[in-house]
Amino acid sequence: MSTSNAQAQIELHRALAPRYAYRYSLPFSRLFQQDWHAEMISHVPEGAARVLDLGCGTGFFLSELEARHPGAVGLDISHDMLRVSEQYIPGARLVTGDAEKLPFQSGAFDVVFCKGSLHHVRDHVRFLANCREVLRDQGVLIMSEPCNDNPLIRFARAVLYRKSPHFDEGDEGFTRKGIVRLCEQGGLEVVKVRKYGVFAYVFAGFPDHIGILKYIPGNVWITRFFLGLDRLLCAIPGLSLLGFHILIVARPRAAS
pLDDT tens sequence for the chain (256 residues): 555 555 544 444 444 556 666 777 889 999 999 999 999 999 999 989 999 999 888 788 998 898 888 889 999 887 777 777 767 777 778 888 887 788 899 999 999 999 988 988 889 999 999 999 999 999 999 999 999 999 999 888 877 777 766 666 667 889 999 999 999 999 999 999 999 999 999 999 888 778 899 999 999 999 999 999 999 999 998 999 999 999 999 999 976 5
pTM of the predicted structure, to 2 decimals:
0.88
What is the SS3 assignment for 248? strand
Would you list the domain boundaries of the chain?
3-25+41-197+238-252
Look at residues 35, 68, 256, 52 and name the one whose alpha carbon lies nearest to residue 139. Answer: 52
Instruction: Give the integer Cα–Cα distance in Å for 181 and 54.
Output: 20
pLDDT of residue 168: 65
pLDDT of residue 10: 47
For residue 116, is it left (φ>0), alpha (ψ between -120 and 50) or beta? left
CATH architecture of 3-25+41-197+238-252: 3-Layer(aba) Sandwich (3.40)
pLDDT of residue 114: 95
